[in-house]
Structure 1
Amino acid sequence: MKRMILTSSSGAGLTYADRADMVVPLIFRFVSGPLPTSHHLEAYLKGGRHIGEVRWSDLVARSPEMGLAHKQLPLDWFCKAYGFDLIELWFDPRPNDQLQLVWILDYLRSQSYMAERLKLRLVDFDLLESDAARLRDRAVRVFDVTEPDFEAARMAWEAYRAPTPELCFGLLGREFPTLPFLKPAMEQLLAELPSTTTGLGATESRLLDLIAAGYSRTKELFQPGGLLETRVFDQWELGPLLEGLASGPMPAIAGLDPKLDTLPPHDARGRNAAFRRSRLSLTEFGKAVLEGREDFRRYNPIRRWWGGTLLTNDRLWRWQEESRSLIAP
């Protein structure tokens, strides 16, 4: 039986776990920045040679049997041409993984060959923290993918792409028996909307907490699995959050290397060095925000994407943590 695994970039270790003939890690990050367009996502799964554009095959290892044939074909054509009998979905509980899962399920619903061969693995652990040896023998429950699962994925993906968070908030009142991590992931994402009290998202508040506790080095704050314990953003997405807190008319953080203002976003090496040189502390205003005495967004501009929602000061959706409520602008 010929097997394929579709997973996130966190599950790249499955490539060496001998659980499938081919492992396809999907590389999109949906939790920060503007979402890719439908055209971009479709082109990603079509494959082929397109200079400067990523494709589904970019992280797929060369196969002794198939060589580099996967580099030229759309994902669904490739599966059919090489006769994959079983296609497994491995996505862990982290919000970005769950978003990737509903996106790919929504796509595969219309791909009859792949849809008929789909199985869903209930990955209740962090793929990123599991090496190939542990993945090789780990027991992971498996389920058939049914029409209600496709419909749930369509609903969730449409909700996240909508121009307001209202549909995502509505998902918290529904049940998804075969997708048990979807609702917790949505709630974690909603908690990243600005708080009604401080104007900060959950990760921004945690950053201020740690800096107030004396953790002044970005290495301590950004390292995977470290003090921050963020499940939403990866280490590359934390930098812009920190810069947002350290800029504007009333910054909450002092000590960020000023050279960051002159470095282009694509200069990863230069920006990483500048972050490491930084020695962070809270401003008096930052202390007031952390204590709930001031609202960061009352004094500082915001223009940030949350799924399909563009957050601005005039259109600022907020999250009320105590009551788990979405507050409209």
Structure 2
Amino acid sequence: MTRLIFTFTDSGAGVLKAALLADCVIGVEQRFVCGRLPASSELDALLSPCTAARRLGAHWLDNLTGRLLEEAHRQGLGLIEFCERFDAVELWVDPDPNSHLQLIWLLDYLRRYTNVTSRLAILQTDHIIGARQPVDLAAWQRHLAPVRDHHLQTASDAWSAWGASTPELWFNLLDQGLGALPQLRNSVVALLEELPSHGSALGATEMQMLELLSAAHVHPYDLFPVQEKPNERQTFGYWEIGALLDGLARCPVPAIGGLDEGPFDLAMHEDPDRHQRYKRSRLALTGLGQAIVDGAADFSQYNPVHRWWGGTELTNDRLWRWDVESRSLVAP
């Protein structure tokens, strides 16, 4: 029996390849936790046969390597046509929010193709796949569950909610039965917590940065979420965290001072001197930053806000908020 595994992080894909559990392992790496969501037509084109996808640019096989994948690339196969070449298709899902957003997007897409969903199974874990040893993963296979209609319906409802123009449908998922995708609930909550908070107008990750800085973690990378470090919040990835720190330090009235280099982009990383200056920066809370930590100031009263949370555009005039204490949405 031929097996195809999809997973949603590069590290997870690397370990699964080393475990030799499947004929082909693919790491899908779309970022949906931050920034404006691509249009549905663009995402569909990404997964379509090459002739359709090329009209809009990217294709799902771009940058993937391996004999089977290179052959599929030459033939311009879409995702569905490639899946049809395998007897079993499996989704191995990490616990982080972006992996779950990719999961619900992919299940929503696959839902229309019963010839693929009939051979589809899912493994949801509360452990980071890429942090395990390859030999450990063989035992995980017993937790694979066939994908049924209720998995597909839950995923479609959740993906639609994430793309909605307000956070209300996403919040309402907490009142729905998410048992088909049991790890999804944690991601729903984690993403709600990244909405501007009722008091500070900062998300949970930004607040964690300020609190760590208040506790004398003074270098930029001290504030980045890493396992077994003070900040273990895994909602955002490396580049997104760097952008959040830039946003707190490079604005009209900063909450953080002392960031000696930036912006946090590829050009800075490719310049060793600039990157060293960035890493050596000694950060400090500004007056505004200290007031926010003390619960006495609102970032949005001093600085412009414009960012995307799923399909919701957040601005100073349209600032949906999350009330941490009551665990409720606060409309603009």
> When the two structures are superposed, what TM-score results if normalisation uses the length of structure 2?
0.90
Structure 2 counterpart of 1:269, one-letter code: E
Q: Secondary structure at the match of 2:112?
A: coil
How far did residue 265 of structure 1 move?
6.5
Question: Partner residue of 1:294?
Answer: 297
How far did residue 52 of structure 1 move?
10
Q: Which runs of 5+ in 1 are unaligned?
A: none
Q: 5 Å matches for 1:1-329?
A: 1-9=1-9, 10-12=11-13, 13-46=15-48, 48=50, 50=54, 53-58=57-62, 60-63=64-67, 66=68, 68-71=70-73, 72-80=76-84, 82=85, 84-222=86-224, 224-225=226-227, 226-257=229-260, 259-260=261-262, 268-270=269-271, 272-329=275-332
Q: Secondary structure at the match of 2:175?
A: coil
How far did residue 272 of structure 1 move?
4.5
Q: Which runs of 5+ in 2 are unaligned?
A: none
How far did residue 169 of structure 1 move?
0.4
How far did residue 53 of structure 1 move?
4.7
Contact 2:321 2:331 in 1 (8 A): yes
TM-superposition CA deviations, 1:247-297 (whole Å, max 9, x none): 32321100012x425x86665434745532422110122111011011111
CA distance in 2, matches of 1:215, 1:308: 34
How far did residue 60 of structure 1 move?
3.9
Q: Note the aligned Cα RMSD (angstroms).
A: 2.2
CA distance in 2, matches of 1:145, 1:36: 26
How far did residue 143 of structure 1 move?
1.4
Q: Identity, % of aligned pairs?
A: 42
TM-superposition CA deviations, 1:221-241 (whole Å, max 9, x none): 226323321210011111111
Structure 2 counterpart of 1:8, one-letter code: F
CA distance in 2, matches of 1:266, 1:166: 38
Contact 1:192 1:202 in 2 (8 A): yes
TM-superposition CA deviations, 1:15-57 (whole Å, max 9, x none): 2211111111111010011112212211221253859954322
TM-superposition CA deviations, 1:172-204 (whole Å, max 9, x none): 111121201111101100000111111111000
Contact 1:15 1:61 in 2 (8 A): no
**Cα distance change, pair 41–52 in 1 and its aligned pair in 2 (3 A):** closer
Structure 2 counterpart of 1:75, one-letter code: L
How far did residue 139 of structure 1 move?
5.0
How far did residue 77 of structure 1 move?
0.9
- How many residue pairs get matched? 323
Structure 2 counterpart of 1:11, one-letter code: G
CA distance in 1, matches of 2:219, 2:55: 38
**Cα distance change, pair 319–223 in 1 and its aligned pair in 2 (3 A):** closer
Structure 1 counterpart of 2:283, one-letter code: L
TM-superposition CA deviations, 1:73-95 (whole Å, max 9, x none): 11111222x3x111111112211
Structure 1 counterpart of 2:188, one-letter code: M
Contact 2:225 2:234 in 1 (8 A): no
Q: Secondary structure at the match of 1:121?
A: strand
